[in-house]
Structure 1
Amino acid sequence: MIIFIAFLIIAGALFHLFKKKDLPKQKKATIHSKKDNESELAVFRIGVSTEGFSLAESRNKKPGRWSVPGETIKIDKFEINGGFVYVGGRLNSTHGYKTEASLIDPTLKINTNSPDYTGEEMGYWPSYDSITPRSRAAYLEWLASDRSDPETYIGYVFLYFYGIERRLLVDDRNRAVPYHERKALVLELERLKNIYGHNRSFNGYVTSFLSYLWVINHKNDSEQPSNNLLVAKRNFTSVFKFLLAKTVQNGKPVNEDLALAWVKSHPDYSLRTPARRCENEFGVLFKLRYKTHFGDGMKIIPNKTRLLIDYHTASASLRGNHQTKLDLPDASVLKVPIRKLMDLAESCTKELESLSRFIGRSGNSRDSIGALALLPNDLVGLISAPRLDRIKTWMNSRESVRD
């Protein structure tokens, strides 16, 4: 009996074992499958076709050309007179396998009945031939205007910016663009920055581009750039690297403006909250302390690393980085000077901690008497305080009346 029971147990075990082997293998569910589906959906929605929109290749065989201001381009009901755009049916990207993103093909569909003003149908890297007819209508309407509406969807401004990038980086590679046009394009970039610079991404690209262009155009003359081209967040501008290199090459001391730009832009250093919250006060204090510690400025022995300035394009139609090598020392890579500047920045930041905490509290004003009382002593009188200035003016006027 015992032997029989044991036989049944063994037989049952063998049956289940072989049955399990015969079962078809099930596909394993991956833990990221849902995320993958969501990702695919997001990508699909970026390129979604709407209202008969088609990505079919244009039949327009006309070569793309550059339009200058004053020339009228008519597309449907729009008349574009501002120029600075490429128009036509054929203009390859610099890598050759796609159409230039900024090229306006007049034969492509547009939907003037329902322009996409909000940019809801725009992708991250737009190109005129792949955006929807609604988006094209909104973009063309902006181009036909004075191009100064600050509420314009930033993707349309970028699309316009792509064309200017190409004109100044590709067409002007051998100085083929006339001087007056080059100057006009730089002014246009500055105008766009003033209007649309509130967008962090656009501000970063246009500042970097203007800085790069300034060095390319002025590397052999004595003209000085605007200070707003000196600083970029967590990255050195071309202007900063060039001016620092020239200063070191000529054996001159690094002035306070360059020193401040160096520490504010260094990729390995971030200003703490007090320095960011009290940005103006920090800048004045840093320059003051810099003069105290270094007099006319630090003197740096030229290093062997040669200066390479570069610009990473916003347009996907242009190949990534555009670089220019100059026979100057790249002092921005040196470790010792920046350590000294970081230490100085930390010291200045500490001096502003009380003021920062005061300003950070709700209801406190930076130009109040309470805030002024928390300034480092040698900053009082150097920092503009409108409210205190009004009190001083009122008191002076009262004294004049008494006299």
Structure 2
Amino acid sequence: MAGSAADAYRISPAPGGARPAARSSARFVAPGESIDIHDLTVSGGFFYTGDAQRLHADSIEACVIDARFDVARDGADPAAGLGSVALSYSGLTPEQRRTYLEWLASDRKKSDINTGYLFFYLYGLERRVLLDGAAGKLSGDEFDAIARELRRLLNLDANYGWQKHVRALIDALALVASRHTRMYLQPAPDGLATGYQVPLNVRVAFGQAALDQHPLPADWALAWVKLDPMMVRRTAVARCPEEFDRVFMRQYRDRFGAGMLLPANRTKLDASPQPAFRALKNVPVPGFLVGLPDIAAVNGTRNKLQLLMHESAVALDAYSRYLGRYPEAQGTLEATLTLPPALWPQATHDAIDALAAEVARETAVSTFGAVLARFKSGGKMTRDKAVVFTTALAEAGIAVEPDVRLGARTPKPTDAIALFAVAPSANPLPVDDAYDVATIIVDLAATVARADGDATQRETAVIEWQIDQWPHLSDAQRARLKARNLAQLAQPTASAGLKKKLEPLAHDVKATIASFLVHTANADGVVSREEVRLLEKVYRMLGIDPQRLYTDLHQHASGAAITPAGVKPAKKHAHSPRPVAVKHEFVLDATRIAALKEETARVSSMLADVFVDEAHGTVTAVHIPETEQPAAVEEQDMLAAQIAAAAHDKVPAPEPQAEPTPPQTSAAAEPLLGLDDAHSSFLRLLVTRESWTRAELADAASHLELMLDGAIEQVNEASLDRWDEPLTDGDDPVEINQEVAQRLAA
């Protein structure tokens, strides 16, 4: 449909066919104009139309749509070639003209149209830029409009010749648009090398900067290294382009300040255009492009940029390799942690700042997974990345407890952690043997406080008060211990390896620990059955006669202060809170203590030297009701077969054994993780499943003549020594850490 009278023109064919006019009336149709040509309405612009005077292919009039030439009612096959590389509108057949005009009147997408029609369209754009543009006849808006059209055309055809000429015209357009200024003052182009030489506009920018002795801006140096086909590029340049750009720009400015000063070499730059339109082959070079040095002709500048590009790419190698393994990890915290901190996304820095503001108000207890979720974690947090993450938080004034930098295992997403404010520093807190002992005491106290469920405020206060009474610790160490206590109270950590830490302690230190634990249990005025059971186990672990526990309980209940032999009371600090008063109204019933002693005695032999890792974990005998014995026996037989297979380091047979098969040893089955044969067999059995019920493992341990809790602790200690992670988690069911299991299988 034709436009209004102001912006529509009607071109009618001349009677009798094509007769050239006396002079050319060709003009360029701007975007937005609407023109009727024959029976078609064309409104896209970007072409010349009018009466052409010279019709041959070597004339600039060859790209003009002359309505005096016939147009067929039906078009030619759009995919068919045009028959000649020297194109002109007059040289097209009436059917080809119909096809071309219909394409102009459409959305001008390639569809199945032959590339020759696209080149004919490009002729008009080349004439507009190289002739009219160089003569100053284009406005800034038209330059922008043509640039957008050329970028659209670039994606219409993958033909190398097409891509080459469209890119060349984009470069020429940028040069013509900057004729009144210097190219190096304009924004640099982006992208990677596609041709055989550095694009003309980049070489012009370098030549002008060399001629003017002006420092070369960083974005133009980046454009050269990415667009020079002679540059050797590491994978990171293409795999993570945004990060590479930031690294290169930063290192360029660090090394060259305002920019490199380029030498003006003698070889001159040939800025002659290389258009597809034959009529423009000899178009004169604009004066502002004449006499520039060609920096691409010498290697000095290229070598400096090559070295800088290599160094920048090396800084991204870890990030690039990570994305190569996990392409979907782009933007996750785990990928970000492989980058230098200066290259982290702004969103990550903002999340750290927001967390620091929250922690500055009060200590926050959360799960590790909840904290990671604030940073778009992908769930692949390794120990190395946890160290980097914890260090970054510390630099922002956020301390994490437990801290992997101080030897703690890498938290699982469900593990509780405490975040508290510290002075910003990347260095971890200095610790010593005294601090390590203090952590053991805090861990034990938190476990005792939780033995009967949640810890009370008074039990928490007792632990924090005791921490304040340790004058040999620094303020920073005491603050971290208090945070550790809160994390332990939220979710006590597994005790695997705790006994080993307690063994080298002096007797008077162990006595102090025992006294403090009894004080903690008694802080709320109620010493529960669970707390007494747990304290008996701890006393055995400490090498103290469990009978002493009941004396200590009576003394604390009656308000008597306990000071172990050889230990002086700590001096009070002026700023320390007052200790929680002992409850004189609470009296521990002697009959109740006797009952507790009788009950705990039944399992005392099984619990020797074992400290359970769950608040309610106890070891009891497994009783099988008579009505369920046949099925249970069958299950035990199958389990026995698994145990025997584990002892031989092979997969158990699927059929149940008729009789329980006792465990056997084999010379081929070597000990695992330094364990003896029985514990190695128990370990092999554990990793055959993802989880076990406690009853199943109790039977398995019995077949191997092992105490269940002791066997689990031995296995976990060996796993901690080797990989800093326990093999098992939970009490019933017992979950098997699959990452550790896979490492063991390897």
TM-score bin (small chain)? 0.5 to 0.7
Map of 1:339 onto structure 2: 303
Map of 2:409 onto structure 1: none
User: Judging changes above 3 Å, is the alpha-carbon distance between structure 1 residues 302 and 88 closer, same or farther for their aligned structure 2 residues?
Assistant: same
1:274 aligned residue (213, 236, 244): 236
2:152 aligned residue (192, 195, 198): 195
1:265 aligned residue (227, 239, 245): 227
TM-superposed CA distance for 1:94, in Å, is: 7.6
Q: Deviations over 1:174-213 (max 9, x none)?
A: x3x6354xx4542332121343332455564344324324
Q: Distance in 1 between matches of 2:55 and 2:191?
A: 34
TM-superposed CA distance for 1:228, in Å, is: 2.8
1:314 aligns with 2:276: yes
User: Judging changes above 3 Å, is the alpha-carbon distance between structure 1 residues 307 and 317 closer, same or farther for their aligned structure 2 residues?
Assistant: closer
Counting only pairs closer than 5 Å after superposition, residues 2-401 of structure 1 correspond to structure 2 as 59-62=18-21, 64=24, 65-69=26-30, 73-81=35-43, 82=45, 84-88=47-51, 90-92=53-55, 95=58, 100-113=61-74, 116=77, 119-122=79-82, 125=85, 127-131=88-92, 133-145=94-106, 149=109, 153=113, 155-170=116-131, 175=135, 178-180=137-139, 183=140, 185-199=142-156, 202=162, 204-221=164-181, 224-228=185-189, 233-234=194-195, 235-319=197-281, 323-324=285-286, 325-361=289-325, 364-381=328-345, 392=374
CA contact 1:367–1:385 (8 Å) conserved in 2: no
TM-superposed CA distance for 1:322, in Å, is: 5.6
Q: Distance in 2 between matches of 1:278 and 1:123?
A: 44
TM-superposed CA distance for 1:121, in Å, is: 4.1
TM-superposed CA distance for 1:227, in Å, is: 2.7
TM-superposed CA distance for 1:143, in Å, is: 2.6
CA contact 2:188–2:220 (8 Å) conserved in 1: no
Q: Distance in 1 between matches of 2:191 and 2:76?
A: 39
TM-superposed CA distance for 1:341, in Å, is: 0.9
Letter in 2 for 1:291: R
TM-superposed CA distance for 1:339, in Å, is: 0.4
CA contact 1:102–1:128 (8 Å) conserved in 2: yes
CA contact 2:211–2:292 (8 Å) conserved in 1: yes
CA contact 1:312–1:322 (8 Å) conserved in 2: no
CA contact 1:367–1:387 (8 Å) conserved in 2: no
- Tell me the secondary structure at the aligned position of residue 371 of structure 1: helix
Q: Distance in 1 between matches of 2:192 and 2:236?
A: 19
Q: Deviations over 1:44-84 (max 9, x none)?
A: xxxxxxxxxxxxxx843235522444876543311335363
CA contact 2:57–2:278 (8 Å) conserved in 1: no
User: Judging changes above 3 Å, is the alpha-carbon distance between structure 1 residues 241 and 124 closer, same or farther for their aligned structure 2 residues?
Assistant: farther
User: Judging changes above 3 Å, is the alpha-carbon distance between structure 1 residues 167 and 393 closer, same or farther for their aligned structure 2 residues?
Assistant: same
User: Judging changes above 3 Å, is the alpha-carbon distance between structure 1 residues 138 and 188 closer, same or farther for their aligned structure 2 residues?
Assistant: farther
TM-superposed CA distance for 1:375, in Å, is: 2.2
- Tell me the secondary structure at the aligned position of residue 303 of structure 1: coil
CA contact 1:109–1:133 (8 Å) conserved in 2: yes
Letter in 1 for 2:144: L
Q: Deviations over 1:21-55 (max 9, x none)?
A: xxxxxxxxxxxxxxxxxxxxxxxxxxxxxxxxxxx
TM-superposed CA distance for 1:162, in Å, is: 0.5
Q: Distance in 1 between matches of 2:173 and 2:179?
A: 10
TM-superposed CA distance for 1:120, in Å, is: 4.0
CA contact 1:310–1:323 (8 Å) conserved in 2: yes
Moved more, 161-170 or 204-213: 204-213
Q: Distance in 2 between matches of 1:230 and 1:248?
A: 23
Q: Distance in 2 between matches of 1:130 and 1:241?
A: 38
CA contact 2:55–2:88 (8 Å) conserved in 1: no
TM-superposed CA distance for 1:168, in Å, is: 3.7
Q: Distance in 1 between matches of 2:130 and 2:345?
A: 46
TM-superposed CA distance for 1:387, in Å, is: 12
Moved more, 256-265 or 154-163: 154-163
Q: Distance in 2 between matches of 1:303 and 1:158?
A: 37
- Tell me the secondary structure at the aligned position of residue 79 of structure 1: strand
- Tell me the secondary structure at the aligned position of residue 221 of structure 1: coil
- Tell me the secondary structure at the aligned position of residue 60 of structure 1: coil
TM-superposed CA distance for 1:160, in Å, is: 2.1
User: Judging changes above 3 Å, is the alpha-carbon distance between structure 1 residues 213 and 121 closer, same or farther for their aligned structure 2 residues?
Assistant: closer
Q: Distance in 2 between matches of 1:276 and 1:394?
A: 24
- Tell me the secondary structure at the aligned position of residue 270 of structure 2: strand
Q: Tell me which of the two structures has the higher relative contact order, counting C-alpha pairs closer than 8 angstroms and 6 or more residues apart.
A: 1
User: Judging changes above 3 Å, is the alpha-carbon distance between structure 1 residues 71 and 300 closer, same or farther for their aligned structure 2 residues?
Assistant: closer
- Tell me the secondary structure at the aligned position of residue 236 of structure 1: coil
CA contact 1:101–1:316 (8 Å) conserved in 2: no
Letter in 2 for 1:380: W
CA contact 1:212–1:309 (8 Å) conserved in 2: no
TM-superposed CA distance for 1:163, in Å, is: 1.2
Q: Distance in 2 between matches of 1:386 and 1:116?
A: 58
CA contact 1:282–1:352 (8 Å) conserved in 2: yes
TM-superposed CA distance for 1:305, in Å, is: 3.0
Q: Deviations over 1:80-134 (max 9, x none)?
A: 35363134354345846xx8542324344444545655x4445684543444545
TM-superposed CA distance for 1:385, in Å, is: 11
Letter in 2 for 1:242: V
- Tell me the secondary structure at the aligned position of residue 221 of structure 2: helix
Map of 1:29 onto structure 2: none
TM-score by length of 1: 0.66
CA contact 2:189–2:223 (8 Å) conserved in 1: no
Letter in 2 for 1:263: V
* Structure with max Cα Rg: 2
CA contact 1:278–1:356 (8 Å) conserved in 2: yes
CA contact 1:108–1:129 (8 Å) conserved in 2: yes
Letter in 2 for 1:192: E
Q: Deviations over 1:133-171 (max 9, x none)?
A: 4543232123335x5657584654432221121244346
How many residues align? The count is 330
CA contact 2:88–2:120 (8 Å) conserved in 1: yes
User: Judging changes above 3 Å, is the alpha-carbon distance between structure 1 residues 111 and 349 closer, same or farther for their aligned structure 2 residues?
Assistant: farther
User: Judging changes above 3 Å, is the alpha-carbon distance between structure 1 residues 135 and 92 closer, same or farther for their aligned structure 2 residues?
Assistant: closer
- Tell me the secondary structure at the aligned position of residue 178 of structure 1: coil
Map of 2:384 onto structure 1: none
CA contact 1:89–1:105 (8 Å) conserved in 2: yes
